[in-house]
Amino acid sequence: MRLHRNLVLAVIDSLNYIFNDGQYADKVVERTLKRDSRWGVRDRKFIAETVYDCVRWKRLYNEIAGTKNHFTNENLWKIFAVWATLKGISLPDWKQFDGTPVRRIKGKFDELQNQRVYKESIPDWLDSLGEKELGSQWPKELHALNQQAEVILRVNTLKTNKIELQKTLSSESIETFPLANYPNALQLTERKNIFTTSAFKNGFFEVQDASSQLVAAFLDVKPGMRVVDACAGAGGKTLHIASLMENKGQIIALDIYANKLAELKKRAKRNSAHNIETRHIDSTKVTKKLHDSADRVLIDAPCSGLGVLKRNPDAKWKLEPEFIEKLQQTQAEILHDYSKIVKKGGKLVYATCSILPSENEKQVENFLKNHKEFTFIEEKKILPSVSGYDGFYMALLEKID
């Protein structure tokens, strides 16, 4: 593989925004890829995958490069040189690579393989927390979360079906295959930009991880129901609920962020999902008006996001112990407040994209202790090491009549 200077510069610039300015990797990559219209599929793939690799393995590469967490321009080139060397790529005769100790890089990499915090590139405190909560399961999850995420599509059944979508995408040179046990999922055979396809513009699919696609189905919705998505965000699961309800009934999508609900409206239009009403939670009145009124309530609670590190590897560098503690408090409050929206005989799903029991089954246990009007039906724990997809948790509860 030959390195091209303009592509490497794009990677270095991106890492500078992520490591020094604290910007989110996905947003930086998205912006960088728009920089030069002449870049082809392979160029864009190189930039995106290299940036994500350097973010994912930040601690390991930083230790090998001896850059001591100082991400100056010179040090970012050293980190890139580590990445290239470990990938078996010959370094070109550029001044930035003068004196790169190729043999020492390989030796140091081998030496660090017996220390998990370097081998799996994770902060000490997060490694300790994972081990404390998951015990012997933690190393397996950590390893699985360091793999590259697959691109999974959810077929929008309001507009098409799996077989038709496969044909449509294939005509645009995008090959997919169906996944067993995920009724509306298609996986891309090879990573490609699918957002420029006519199938996307026509609302035939959404990008949604296979594990995430299990949540709406778990809510057990039926056409004609009144459903509240209490933490809807930009609405990936809301749209899935709409398709399962065949556009019949009412979905009220709530969120504290108005900009996310604006994005949901755009997506709903593209999806032809007509039964969604968005409501911005700008005061407690919004939720109080809904008390005892919904057949189903989905609480896709804010969480650490530890189950989705495959696609958001920068989260492990942004998380802090205090933040996780505060989150757990928020989760308990949200569960308490929004459970009041469920009517008698109605059902509630509490879900997170975390794999920590303290954010998941422990929250549900505590809630049930203090809310005798709810009964536990079932739960699903989805581990990345087992499923190959994102880590998720979901619990189905019923309000006793």
Q: In this structure, are residues 231 and 225 in contact, taking their beta carbons and an 8 Å threshold?
A: no
- Cα–Cα dist 394/305, whole Å: 14
Identify which of 140, 215, 139 has the alpha carbon closest to the alpha carbon of residue 184.
215
What distance lies between CA 400 and its chain's CA centroid?
33
Identify which of 205, 220, 223, 290 has the alpha carbon closest to the alpha carbon of residue 254.
290
- Cα–Cα dist 160/168, whole Å: 10
What distance lies between CA 358 and its chain's CA centroid?
19
Tell me the Ramachandran region of residue 22: left when phi exceeds 0, alpha when psi lies from -120 to 50, beta otherwise: left
- Cα–Cα dist 216/244, whole Å: 8
Strand residues in 248-293 grouped as ranges (E) = 250-255, 276-280
Say whether 303 is catalytic.
no
Q: Which of 54, 231, 303, 353 is catalytic?
A: 353
Give the pair of three-digit tokens for residue 132: 């404390």
The residues annotated with a catalytic role in the active site are 353
